[in-house]
Amino acid sequence: MPCPACQAPSPCPQPHVGTAWKPSPDVTVERLSPGLPRRLPLRQILCLLPLALVVVVAVQHRSVLADGFGHLATAEWPWLLAAAAATCLTWVAAAVTRQGALVERLPRRRLLATQFAAGAANHLLPTGLGASAVNLRFMAVCGVPLARSSAALALYMLAESVARVGLLVALLIAFPDALRIGVLLPDGAAGPLLLAAGAVVCVALTVLLLVRRVRTVVFSFLRTALSEARSVHARPARALALWGGAITFPALQAAGLAAVGQALGLPVPPLHMAVAYLAATVAVALVPTPGGIGSVEAALIVALVAAGGPAAVATAVVLAYRIITVWLPLLPGALTLGALVRWKVI
């Protein structure tokens, strides 16, 4: 092999003190260190991680899966297909809302695939964190700065929350007897809940006022978020996509639950089931469990019972609904997430 410094035949007559030897491009790592095992690339590990998490979550909830599939076997299939169609349309609504929260145009197909993958990530990580991380990474790959992508994410979450609560309030005004509040909120529970919420707000305000670094970060983020919101609402197409998608997303989710209720013969009017769904999801949003698994089921069952449904049928409806909206898309969603990581889309 010639000398790497002067290309003289080996052994080189010159000492070349301080010259570091570097392998030529055609020298592979295996030739340099044949005794060392090859390391698995980090991106390849990230591709396999969603599948491993799916297996873990499925094993932990295998009894729920068995019960849910058992109820699906006895349901009316046209209504189940309607529920599945509504579930698929939720990813389209999420993609439209994400685009509406950002001025830059995002690639449509990759954006839709990212929402499908983000749904799987959201069920594998604490509520909201999985989808937020996937979408932040997607916007970063698309060239959006972190400050503006974070502002767009905050605007999306705000629009979705306002739309969900607004839709719930509108339906409660239209159907005041849809829920029996006494079943949802036991006597004497309102006071402690309000006290706990007030304590959380007071602690947050105290930290904001006393810690200068936190105050600086929060105010800087708010300035960026307000600027982004003004830019979005200055474009009618973006504003329509933002708020139209934000309203459509929970409406489709509620329609999916109503369709499953019809498939299993739940004796509750569909609009009352929609009210029950919105009330349960608003209540469970504060519980940081992965994808709401466990907490969402409990809240939905209680809400459907409060809407007038028998407990046994309400339980069957919720289990079947979660099979359609969570467990069936989970594996393909995880595969899509791994593929997007491998292709460097996220």
Q: What pLDDT was estimated at residue 299? A: 86
Give residues with Cβ within 8 angstroms of 228, minimum separation 6. Answer: 101, 102, 103, 148, 151, 152, 155
For residues 100 and 12, the model is more confident at 100
Q: What pLDDT was estimated at residue 123? A: 80
**Three-state DSSP state, 179:** coil
- pLDDT-derived band at 197 (thresholds 50, 70, 90) equals low
Burial call 145-182: b when 16+ CB within 10 Å, e when fewer: eeebbbbbbbbbbebbeebbeebbeebbeeeeebbeee
Does pTM top 0.85 for this prediction? no
Q: Could you read off the pLDDT of 289-336 as tens digits, one per residue? A: 555 566 788 889 889 999 999 988 888 899 899 989 988 999 899 999
What is the rounded radius of gyration, in angstroms, for the C-alpha atoms of the chain?
26
For residues 181 and 37, the model is more confident at 181
Q: Are 126 and 343 within 8 A, CB to CB?
A: no
Per-chain mean pLDDT for the chain: 82
Q: What pLDDT was estimated at residue 35? A: 47
> If you search the block for the tokens 């929609």, which residue do you land on?
274
Direct distance between the N- and C-terminal alpha carbons of the chain, in angstroms, rounded to an integer: 43
